[in-house]
Amino acid sequence: MLSFFTKARIRGGVHAEEHKAITATQAIVTGFPLPKTLYIPLQQHVGKPAEPLIRVGEQVLKGQLLAYSQGLISAPVHAPSSGVILDVNDYPAPHPSALPIRMIVLETDGKDQWLELPAVADPFQLAPEDISLRVGAAGIVGLGGATFPTAVKLNMGRENHIDTLIINGAECEPYLSCDDRLMQERSDQIIDGVRLMLHGMETGQAIVAIEDNKPQAFNAMLASAQAYPKITVIQIPTRYPMGWDRQLIGYVTGREVPVGSRSSEVGVTIHNVGTAYATHKAIRYGQPLVSRVLTVSGGAVGRPMNVEVPLGTLISEVFDFCGVDARQTARIIMGGPMMGDALPHTGLPTVKATSGLLALTASELKDTDEQPCIRCASCVSVCPAGLRPLDMANNIRVNQLDAAVDIGLKDCISCGCCSYICPSNIPLVQYFKYASGEVAARQQAQHKSEQTKRLMEARNTRLERIAEKQREEEQARIAAKLERERLKAEQEASV
């Protein structure tokens, strides 16, 4: 165990009902039937959307680049299978609003034929910068849900000379067990991915942190890491939201990430176990991120499981494969029940961020009848960010959003602990999500207004300069005319 490892005090959090046992004990299903049509969003990551470089009617192979990244914070998109491009247009997004976003529609040909990919005999002979370039070209993003481009974090880690890489194996969300099974079944590949990340960031050591409710995963990862002294595998307490980066960094290293700062600024960076596995495949075999393991669970699911599916597969097809009873389904959630998104229907595609798909029955949902606050302060005691949820909610109710921001709205991580623990069923986290969106919209409107004002001021300044120049030219013409008339008069007088 690393010498600096310290069991720092855990602030807030809840012991949520796990609902993991059914899927955590079953092997990952890899025989998912290839969908006839895949809907591949160009925005599956933080940053700018990818820009398509294919044409409608073009034949593509599995792993082929479909859209390239734009700018520093972006990620490319690849074909999850072979087939023909049917369309590049707007389709409903996997988001609570289901508003349309730009997607590539791929009709599969049933062959699932890979593009010829370059393999690397010894990736540790590659330059660290080359590791980042290959990871970026593979379209890998944070698979724990944040979807931040992994190559950017690798570069930031190297540039900031971080001393510790933390691999997040907490998977603290109820129902979800895809990371657990990945660690149990593919621990060697994950550890190889961790070693490649260390090489890419030129970092000396890594800690794999796994919640203590996953003993099989812990033992598998411990065995795979045994030969590598730079990698330590530890157990951490089972408590939601232990997977939050700041909570995990604080518990493992004792370091606190200041508000508004990145973890790399305190010498630490975090990656998910799924991201490490994807890095292994990208560097060793040249395979881009075109599929992922996700958990399908909930009371309405006939066959709960962890299954590997091509990105762009419609949720309806995943639910059909897992025997979901639509009549019993009261809510569809992408992700976990605490921080996931409730979706309006199943005609939406899976994406890189899809760690889970839940079909919950009415009995699994918390009573939504809101009652008056009893001032118990439970929400304060469980907030991992140390905020005052009720005070923020009261300000939001009366549209005092600036006051809510002043007492910490921007520090809220929308973990849902306050709503989970509230005996009055006050949907606190919903208030915060609404307010955060409203604040962002207002800031965007203010920015647009200020930009418009600057443009108008620049236009007025330009017009004033033009008018001033015209006045000067007119005055110069008058002066020249007067001078000519004076010279003419002098000449006439001399004659």
What is the rounded distance in angstroms from the CA atom of residue 248 to the CA atom of residue 10? Answer: 9
Name which of 96, 233, 220 is nearest 165 in CA terms: 233
In the chain, what is the straight-line distance between the N-terminal and C-terminal CA atoms, in Å? 111
Q: What is the pLDDT of residue 443?
A: 78
DSSP string of 202-233? Answer: T-SEEEEEEETT-HHHHHHHHHHHTT-TTEEE
DSSP string of 122-169? Answer: -GGGS-HHHHHHHHHHTT-B-TTTT--BHHHHHHHHHHTT-SEEEEEE
Backbone angles phi, psi at 221, to 5 degrees: -70, -35
Q: What is the pLDDT of residue 7?
A: 56
Say which DSSP state 337 is in.
Answer: T
Q: Is there a contact between 272 and 144 (Cβ–Cβ < 8 Å)? A: yes
What is the rounded distance in angstroms from the CA atom of residue 21 to the CA atom of residue 306? Answer: 12
Tokens of 282: 């990208």
What is the rounded distance in angstroms from the CA atom of residue 228 to the CA atom of residue 376? Answer: 49
- Asked whether the bond before 52 is cis by omega within 30 degrees of 0, the reply is no
Question: Average pLDDT for consecutive 10-residue bins of the chain (495 residues)?
Answer: 53 91 96 97 93 96 96 94 97 92 97 92 94 96 93 94 96 96 98 97 96 97 97 96 92 88 90 97 97 98 98 98 97 95 96 97 84 93 93 93 91 92 91 87 81 90 92 91 84 77
Point out which residues pair with 84 in neighbouring strands. 59, 107
For the entire predicted model, the pTM comes to 0.87
What is the rounded distance in angstroms from the CA atom of residue 241 to the CA atom of residue 446? Answer: 34
Tokens of 8: 């720092």
Helix, strand, coil % over all residues of the chain, rounded to 5: 40, 20, 40
Tally of CA atoms within 13 A in the half-sphere of 438 that contains its CB: 15
Q: List the beta strands (DSSP E) in 170-288.
A: 205-211, 231-236, 268-272
DSSP string of 386-419? Answer: ---HHHHHHHHHTT-HHHHHHTTGGG-----HHH
Say which DSSP state 306 is in.
Answer: E
Count of all residues that appear for the chain in the document = 495
Write down all domains in the chain, each with its CATH number in brackets: 21-293 (3.40.50.11540), 389-438 (no CATH)
H or E element at residue 108: strand 100-108
Calculate ∠ Cα 449-453-456, nearest 5°: 140
Binding residue ranges for [4Fe-4S] cluster: 373, 376, 379, 383, 412, 415, 418, 422
Q: DSSP H helical segments within 54-100, as ranges? A: none
Q: Which amino acid is at 52?
A: P
Q: Is there a contact between 65 and 78 (Cβ–Cβ < 8 Å)? A: yes
Q: What is the pLDDT of residue 495?
A: 66
Point out which residues pair with 409 in neighbouring strands. none
Backbone angles phi, psi at 128, to 5 degrees: -55, -40
Backbone angles phi, psi at 68, to 5 degrees: -95, 155
Binding residue ranges: 373, 376, 379, 383, 412, 415, 418, 422
Q: What is the pLDDT of residue 3?
A: 41
What is the rounded distance in angstroms from the CA atom of residue 381 to the CA atom of residue 273? Answer: 30
What is the rounded distance in angstroms from the CA atom of residue 80 to the CA atom of residue 102? Answer: 17
Q: Is there a contact between 146 and 186 (Cβ–Cβ < 8 Å)? A: no
What is the rounded distance in angstroms from the CA atom of residue 264 to the CA atom of residue 198? Answer: 14
Q: What is the pLDDT of residue 444?
A: 76
What is the rounded distance in angstroms from the CA atom of residue 143 to the CA atom of residue 135? Answer: 13
